[in-house]
């Protein structure tokens, strides 16, 4: 029987028309068994990571790379320049500081939606609109009201502590030590000295249980954003303000220099909590950036005891608490989960703090 006859009448299981003869010594030629064509595994669409997806074009990739490097310096420099011209135009320091604080917050929040570091850190309006509105409401209450309580308490506290700080500075012989320096140098020294006391005050908040009762409010959020920089208990903020600014009063700092230092501190503090990708290594040499500060907000207690600098990382480097950034940091306070506003306000005064 020839090959042509073999190929007929097999129905659906017939071999293909093209056949190969298998030659074996002393054996009649036979047809080779049918070969099964190789199957290609089904392709699955790529999953979208929680972090920012890569841009679709090389040009967009380059532009976003420039953005990640230049964003933090551009926001800070822009605020300083805007404040300078606002003061030249005759605006009061109160109005200027309000605008200079609100404007970067709005700009950073916009880019948190356009180019987030992690999309799941944005408010989940699509997945859980009620929870998103509740979380946004708590953040706005902190930003607009709760953290402003310390500004009402300061006028009550300062008359008692400022004269003492001045007297202490005069006895040490440091009062007026900055008088002969140019304004930029005075502001730089105020930032460095103020951050030294702020650093140790912040570090004690993580090691002294009584202080942690109030500071835990700032670490409760399970995702970071610029607006969450205002998540502070008013008592906690009042203590840090006194600790951070009284040494500057002892140096005889001028009011204008204090305002400039406060502006820079405020902008950098918001940037350090922003949900935007950061690759500003040069900027990080001077100021605290979000990639370093995320480590400080880790839910791992040991890991969170690092990067205490809220605006500068210099003192973390000096005192050995600087820790390099890493991906995948889990944010919050154990047990992980949001707490209600009233709970966060009154828990420090109860037997079951946060």
- Residue identified by tokens 């300083």 is 80
% pLDDT > 90, the chain: 49
Looking at residue 278, what is its pLDDT?
86
Looking at residue 154, what is its pLDDT?
65
Looking at residue 260, what is its pLDDT?
92
Q: What angle do CA 179, 180, 186 make, to 5 degrees?
A: 65
> Between 279 and 302, where is the model more confident?
302
Looking at residue 164, what is its pLDDT?
87
Among 170-179, 324-333, 337-346, the least confident range: 337-346
Looking at residue 318, what is its pLDDT?
96
What are φ and ψ of residue 168, in 5° steps?
-65, -40
Average pLDDT rounded to a whole number, residues 68-73: 90
Looking at residue 10, what is its pLDDT?
42
Looking at residue 3, what is its pLDDT?
45
CA atoms of 81 and 46, how far apart (whole Å): 44
CA atoms of 132 and 15, how far apart (whole Å): 63
Torsional class of 11: left (φ above 0), alpha (ψ -120 to 50), beta (otherwise) = left
Average pLDDT rounded to a whole number, residues 213-223: 93
Asked if 275 contacts 122 with a C-beta cutoff of 8 angstroms, the reply is yes
Q: Which helix (H) or strand (E) holds 62?
A: helix 58-88
Instruction: List Cβ neighbours of 297 (8 Å cut-off, separation of 6 or more).
Output: 219, 221, 224, 304, 329, 331, 332
Buried b (16+ CB within 10 A) or exposed e, 10-25: eeeeeeeeeeeeeeee
User: pLDDT band for position 58 (50/70/90)?
Assistant: confident
Q: Which of 133, 68, 76 is nearest to 269 (CA)?
A: 76
CA atoms of 251 and 177, how far apart (whole Å): 6
- Alpha carbon 54 to chain centroid distance? 20
Looking at residue 24, what is its pLDDT?
47
Question: pLDDT by residue (tens digit) across 220-266?
Answer: 999 999 999 999 998 998 888 888 888 999 999 988 898 899 899 99
User: pLDDT band for position 41 (50/70/90)?
Assistant: low
What are φ and ψ of residue 51, in 5° steps?
-80, 180
Structure tokens at 307: 């990067």
Average pLDDT rounded to a whole number, residues 172-181: 90
Instruction: Count other C-beta atoms under 10 Å from residue 38's C-beta.
Output: 5
Most confidently predicted of 30-34, 260-264, 277-281: 260-264
Rounded to two decimals, what is the model's pTM?
0.79
> Between 64 and 206, where is the model more confident?
206
Looking at residue 11, what is its pLDDT?
43
Cis amide linkage into residue 335, ω under 30° from 0 = yes
- Give the CA distances from residue 197 to residues 202, 242, 255, 309, in Å, rounded to whole numbers and listed in that order: 8, 10, 19, 10
% pLDDT > 70, the chain: 81
Beta bridge partners of 298: 331
Looking at residue 101, what is its pLDDT?
79
Looking at residue 5, what is its pLDDT?
44
Looking at residue 271, what is its pLDDT?
95
């Amino acid at each position: 029987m020839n090959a042509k006859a073999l190929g007929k009448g097999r129905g659906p299981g017939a071999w293909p028309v093209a056949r190969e003869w298998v030659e074996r010594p002393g054996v009649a030629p036979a047809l080779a068994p049918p070969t099964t064509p190789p199957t290609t595994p089904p392709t699955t669409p790529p999953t979208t990571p929680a972090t920012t997806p890569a841009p679709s074009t090389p040009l967009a990739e380059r532009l976003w790379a420039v953005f990640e490097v230049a964003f933090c310096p551009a926001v800070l420099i822009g605020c300083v320049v805007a404040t300078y011209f606002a003061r030249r135009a005759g605006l009061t320091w109160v109005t200027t500081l309000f605008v200079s604080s609100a404007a970067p917050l709005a700009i950073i929040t916009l880019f948190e939606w356009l180019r987030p570091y992690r999309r799941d850190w944005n408010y989940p309006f699509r997945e859980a609109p009620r929870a998103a509105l509740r979380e946004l409401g708590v953040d706005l209450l902190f930003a607009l009201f709760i953290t402003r309580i310390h500004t009402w308490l300061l006028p009550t506290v300062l008359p008692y502590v400022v004269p003492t700080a001045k007297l202490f500075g005069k006895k040490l012989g440091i009062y007026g030590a900055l008088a002969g320096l140019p304004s930029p140098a005075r502001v730089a020294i105020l930032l460095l000295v103020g951050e030294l006391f702020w650093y140790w005050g912040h570090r004690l908040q993580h090691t002294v249980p009584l202080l942690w009762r109030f500071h835990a409010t700032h670490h409760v959020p399970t995702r970071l954003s610029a607006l969450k920089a205002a998540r502070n208990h008013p008592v906690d903020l009042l203590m840090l303000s006194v600790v951070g600014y009284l040494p500057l009063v002892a140096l005889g700092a001028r009011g204008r220099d204090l305002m400039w230092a406060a502006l820079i501190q405020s902008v950098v503090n918001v940037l350090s909590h922003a949900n935007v990708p950061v690759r500003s290594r040069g900027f990080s040499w001077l100021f605290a950036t979000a990639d370093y500060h995320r480590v400080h907000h880790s839910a791992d207690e040991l890991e969170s005891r690092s990067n205490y600098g809220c605006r500068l990382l210099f003192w973390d480097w000096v005192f050995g608490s600087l820790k390099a950034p890493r991906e995948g940091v889990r944010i919050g306070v154990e047990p992980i989960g949001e707490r209600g506003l009233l709970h966060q306000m009154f828990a420090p005064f109860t037997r079951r703090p946060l």
